Amino acid sequence: MLEAKNLTKKYGNFTALNELNLTVNPGDIFCLLGANGAGKSTTINLFLNFIAPSSGSVFINSKDVNKYAQETKSMISYIPENLMLYTNLTGIENLEFFCSLGGLKYTKIELEKLIIDAGLQPEFIHQRVKNYSKGMRQKIGIALAVARKSSVLLLDEPTSGLDPKASNEFSELLLSMKEKGVTTLMATHDLFRAKNTGTHIGIMKGGNLIEEFQSDNINFQELERMYINHMHN
């Protein structure tokens, strides 16, 4: 579970995030929408403890990330827009390396299964990551999240630049994580994915969460209209 309580981030006099109150429950996929500069990445970075709040608090599975930095970090997997992998290592070598950093030991067969379950075509498992498309790299990220048994997934525009098929495959992976009870918070510009994959949608503007609703309670046209109205007013 993710919780933000009166969470504010200021840079000098500028408020990047203003008094955010947000709860994302296990099995929820909460999609944050908003124009460039709305505060989406700031929110994700505060949950990741990459930056410190100016005021308010952030909880991961009821633990304050500032007080329990290591413990909360171990519960999270983070997939940014461009996942950093070692391009001269193969997909499976990357997975093995990042697992070992976290003290996790898997056999080659288990690692292969994790990657195949994440949807990578088997012939790429032993190819160097420099030959991977962006969508393939994101699949290694999901395989790592599953390997780490992360209960929380933080995603910052993970599907930007992916073709529709790769985006669709990524959405399927998020839905399978949801079935496992993973808590997901995703910043995205993709209204279509937010509506179809997200269980909840929030619209941010100028550092404020100005709308929050369940995606089942709105159709795509209404969402698009609401989003455009907010962006123009």
Ligand X SMILES: Nc1ncnc2c1ncn2[C@@H]1O[C@H](COP(=O)(O)OP(=O)(O)OP(=O)(O)O)[C@@H](O)[C@H]1O
Find the binding residues for ligand X in span 180-219 (CB under 6 A).
Answer: 187
Burial class (CB in 10 A: 0-12, 13-18, 19+), 58: buried
The binding track of 10-39 with respect to ligand X, each residue x by CB under 6 A or -, is -x--x-x-----------------x-xxxx
Smallest distance from ligand X to CB 125, Å? 32
Count of residues touching ligand X (by CB under 6 A): 12
- Residue from the set 20, 40, 137, 145 that interacts with ligand X by CB under 6 A: 40
Exactly one of 20, 41, 83, 202 binds ligand X (CB under 6 A); that residue is: 41
> What DSSP character marks residue 28?
-
* Nearer to ligand X (CB atom), residue 16 or residue 120: 16
Decide: helix, strand or coil at residue 178: helix
Nearest CA to 151 out of 95, 69, 77 is that of 77
Position 42 contacts ligand X (CB under 6 A) = yes
Separation of alpha carbons 134 and 113, rounded Å: 20
CA distance 227 to 232: 9
Task: Pick between residue 78 and residue 124 the one whose CB is nearest to ligand X.
Answer: 78
